Structure 1
Amino acid sequence: MLKISGNDTPARIRRSQTLALVLLVVCGVINYLDRATLAVANEYIRADLGLSLGQMGLLLSAFSWSYALCQLPVGALVDKVGPRWLLGGGLVLWSLAQAAGGLASTFGWFVLARIALGIGEAPQFPAAARVVSNWFPPRSRGAPTGVYNSASPLGVALAPLCLTPLIAATSWHWAFFATGALGLVAALVWVALYRDPVAASMNAAERAYLDGGGAGAGAATTSFAAWCALFRHRTTWGMMLGFFGSVYLNWVYLTWLPGYLRTERHMDLAYAGLAASIPFICGFAGALLAGWASDRVARRAASPVSGRRNAVVVATLGMVAFTIPAALADSNVVAVACISIVIFLANASSASAWSLATVAAPPSRIASLGAIQNFGGFLGGALAPVLTGYIAQTWSFVPALLTGAAIAFAGAMSYHFLVVRTIPEDHAA
């Protein structure tokens, strides 16, 4: 396991950190397997239900709308109730919703199943941010944030490799049933094994590590007034607008890449499945590397906020730069290579953005600020598949990709100019 928090970490806490990260990665992989199932089965579902590209865009976005809206209350609930039961309950709900998608026979039924999936999956990343803030000091939160964020591209990379053969051997319905069952097992394991730190059961060295390091174990619980107070700060708005741009471009690829490779670049099913996995394997590496690097950058920066913000800005601008040749290149090899770099940088940006939330927020509202940022991001994630589908249906995927690049550039500028300081605890209402 990656050595995350240095030689000063008490042995029992290090074991708890490792267990927590392993569980978060497993849950995160299942989370993104479920999200990506619809993208992998895109063509089969369109043919079976008789959907246009525009309708498929609406279906692909249904998850993101409910997911985004639920971020606002879920972040505050995680800070108040804790991640164990919020994430456990979310796992059960999203797994049942995923299985319900396999029973869909109409467009309307499928939309409802995807909306329920978004509600169930909402606690995953706010809970993970809270877990990291509970178990790790601020100077060392980038690496564990990168670890749990690496589950996102890993799940998407595994989706075509695991689900394409299953769909070919059975039908697209079984891809939803199998991933739903996997989530129910994960829910039982998470609730059985994960615990938050309890100061009363720790020795002096363990308490000093968590309390002295500024981890969230002893942070005061939040309130509705304190949650509302976050919106008084430009840092909050910069993170929302910035993540909107980054996630928009990421979700263009996340929801449309298999369909893009098949429709625009005329790849056969087997080759498209492999080509769609390669960029997300690169994204897995990007999340891990960004987490490790952001800790080192933050230690050398003028402040933890500026260091982690700059990492987000650089990665997002890189996404923009490589999307342009990805859209315009004639060569499929060049296009897939550029897309791989974009996904690498997208996951580096996401990991850095979540680690930014752990240092920009007051200790009692880390999950709240992270969820508000994620709300802004998934408004972009909800818009991306719809707008991409309609642009591709009207013109082609080239202007759709260039539109995503322009939106991501605006997001990078929002981070750069608006996110300049930590939100202080004493501004809570």
Structure 2
Amino acid sequence: MPQRYFIVGITAFAALLLYIDRVCISILADPIQTDLALSEEQKESALGAFFFTYALFQIPVGALADRYGPRLVLSVSIALWSVVTAMTGLAWSFGALFGVRLLLGLSEAGAYPAAASLIKRWARPDERGRFNSVVSLGGRVGGAFAPTLTTTLGKLLAGVAIAGIAAGESGMNWRGVFVLYGVCGLVVALLFWLVVRDHPPEPHPEPTRVVPEQDSGADWHALPPVPPGAEPEIGEHATPPVNTAPPPFKRQLITLASNRGMWFFGTLQFCNNISWAFLVTLLPTYLKDANVDISLRSTIQTGVLLAGCVGMIVGGMVTDAIRQRLGARWGRSVPIATTMALGAAMCAVLSSAPGLWFAVTALALMAFCQDLGIPSVWAYAQDVGGKSVGAALGFGNMLGNFGAALSPRLLGETKRIGGWEAAFAICATCYVIAAICGLMLDATKPVEKPTSPPA
């Protein structure tokens, strides 16, 4: 098996762990509220704290991955968020819980920007969509199965005391779940450090030929001779690119902030995440208002999120195929714009759904369309990012997570004023804006103009 496939696989597993650690607190929120005697406002504040530090540190940690390598940044990130996850199990008050949630957002902030930088180094341009879909799929699978896994572990560990504290009045050992997840994460961090490398191995010391990647911000790879007509394995035999040091952070930040494409990219993710966050925050409330039994709610939510997983797999193949046929410009923007437009259509259907299962079908299609476009979003950042891929994806993710942080409050207030029909109208509008921004993206225009080599 080519080594780059293994690199993608372990990165996807890290993403799976990331989403389990991120999502599990929403499943355990009620037991935590009971045992720590939190008010409803305190519970909501603790849940929302994560998104603010997660958003704010996207660019800085992404820039660190560009400068010091994704292997180091991802290994440290996994270790840190695992320690913080375990610390959550030791929280004794609202202040302690709020603090560890802020730390979790900070420690997880660099995961996806660093992963994007790693994939850029190992994948050919025509593979990036598929590789991105596998990594993103890992996160979605973790989020889909976190409810069932977390609930099961909480019940199995009911009699186990953590730091001398057993399960409280809730009867759910949420402390043990957090500590167990944290320990597992430390093992994954060590494994990641031991087996992952920033670049593919160097070729054998024999005559080489140089082949450029055919995309913006291209790196140059020295390749060993290959038989006539054979396709060289760029991601497998490439030497680390020459002069790959990213510009200073201040220059990266100025370059990103002054680039029109980055603002279309960020606005796309901001609007997109307002709509997507509904699926992982308010969907159970929507089902509760539809008089769905609590046991069926989790099943429906898992099914909807699994539909997104299917979209993620298909999306990687779609964006690579369209890129080969239409080129980088439309190969990235067309899948993004189309999937966002389809998401808007599903929200319009939800506004007038005649029955529960009709609405559930529309929700599943919404999740499918949403995740169908995600590999193209990642690939765009890799195509234009050049030496600053981590910072470029971090810029979009930062604005996207501000949208996710805003979503529950915005849609919740809209629902209280105008009902779920008004909330879905907001989601549809956001998807339309995201589709327009997607059409404006041009993957042939790098964020930083390439400099001419000295004569």
TM-score norm. by structure 1 comes to 0.87
Counterpart among 319, 330, 333 of residue 294 in structure 1? 319
Aligned AA (1:91): I
- Conserved in 2, the CA contact under 8 Å of 1:91 and 1:187? yes
- Conserved in 2, the CA contact under 8 Å of 1:258 and 1:272? yes
Partner of 2:373: 349
Provide the C-alpha distance between the structure 1 equivalents of 2:13 and 2:330, rounded to a whole number of angstroms. 31
Provide the C-alpha distance between the structure 1 equivalents of 2:181 and 2:380, rounded to a whole number of angstroms. 31
Counterpart among 419, 422, 427 of residue 445 in structure 2? 422
Q: Which moved more, 1:205-214 or 1:391-400?
A: 205-214
Question: What displacement does 1:110 show?
Answer: 2.1
Partner of 1:276: 301
Question: What displacement does 1:55 show?
Answer: 5.0
- Conserved in 2, the CA contact under 8 Å of 1:42 and 1:259? no
- Conserved in 2, the CA contact under 8 Å of 1:146 and 1:291? yes
Aligned AA (2:306): I
Select the structure of larger CA radius of gyration. 2
Counterpart among 318, 333, 340 of residue 357 in structure 2? 333
Partner of 2:340: 316
- Conserved in 2, the CA contact under 8 Å of 1:153 and 1:347? no
Question: What displacement does 1:51 show?
Answer: 5.5
Q: Which moved more, 1:202-211 or 1:137-146?
A: 202-211
Provide the C-alpha distance between the structure 2 equivalents of 1:300 and 1:359, rounded to a whole number of angstroms. 16
Aligned AA (1:241): T
Counterpart among 105, 120, 126 of residue 107 in structure 2? 120
Provide the C-alpha distance between the structure 2 equivalents of 1:311 and 1:399, rounded to a whole number of angstroms. 27
- Conserved in 2, the CA contact under 8 Å of 1:227 and 1:365? no
| Matched residue count | 413
Partner of 1:360: 384
Partner of 1:8: none
Aligned AA (2:407): A
Question: What displacement does 1:424 show?
Answer: 5.7
Is 1:21 aligned to residue 47 of structure 2? no
CA displacement 1:106-147 (0-9 Å, x = unmatched): 333222211111111112111111111111121221111111
Partner of 1:163: 150
Provide the C-alpha distance between the structure 1 equivalents of 2:410 and 2:239, rounded to a whole number of angstroms. 39
CA displacement 1:53-81 (0-9 Å, x = unmatched): 66544333211111111111111111110
Q: List alignment gaps of at least 5 residues for structure 1.
A: 1-13
Question: What displacement does 1:396 show?
Answer: 4.8
Counterpart among 193, 213, 223 of residue 191 in structure 1? 193
Provide the C-alpha distance between the structure 2 equivalents of 1:104 and 1:408, rounded to a whole number of angstroms. 38
Matches within 5 A, 1:35-50: 35-49=22-36
- The 1:24–1:418 alpha-carbon spacing in structure 2 relative to 1, beyond 3 Å, is closer
Q: Which has the higher contact order (CA 8 A, sep 6+)?
A: 1
Question: What displacement does 1:415 show?
Answer: 2.3
Alpha-carbon RMSD: 2.8
Is 1:380 aligned to residue 403 of structure 2? yes
- Conserved in 1, the CA contact under 8 Å of 2:63 and 2:390? yes
Provide the C-alpha distance between the structure 1 equivalents of 2:418 and 2:372, rounded to a whole number of angstroms. 31
Question: What displacement does 1:256 show?
Answer: 2.8
Partner of 2:176: 174
CA displacement 1:21-54 (0-9 Å, x = unmatched): 1111110001111111122224434455566666
- Conserved in 2, the CA contact under 8 Å of 1:54 and 1:390? no
Q: Which moved more, 1:289-298 or 1:61-70?
A: 61-70
SS state at 2:245 partner: coil
Partner of 1:245: 271
Q: Which moved more, 1:177-186 or 1:290-299?
A: 177-186
CA displacement 1:332-374 (0-9 Å, x = unmatched): 222222111111122222222001111122x212222111111
SS state at 2:246 partner: coil
CA displacement 1:371-413 (0-9 Å, x = unmatched): 1111121111121133234445666554334323322322222
Aligned AA (1:233): N
Provide the C-alpha distance between the structure 1 equivalents of 2:209 and 2:360, rounded to a whole number of angstroms. 49
Provide the C-alpha distance between the structure 2 equivalents of 1:121 and 1:418, rounded to a whole number of angstroms. 27
- Conserved in 1, the CA contact under 8 Å of 2:129 and 2:319? yes
Question: What displacement does 1:175 show?
Answer: 3.1
Q: Which moved more, 1:200-209 or 1:213-222?
A: 200-209
More helix as a share of residues: 1
Provide the C-alpha distance between the structure 2 equivalents of 1:83 and 1:373, rounded to a whole number of angstroms. 18
- Conserved in 2, the CA contact under 8 Å of 1:360 and 1:422? yes
- The 1:312–1:52 alpha-carbon spacing in structure 2 relative to 1, beyond 3 Å, is farther
- Conserved in 1, the CA contact under 8 Å of 2:383 and 2:444? no
Aligned AA (2:433): A
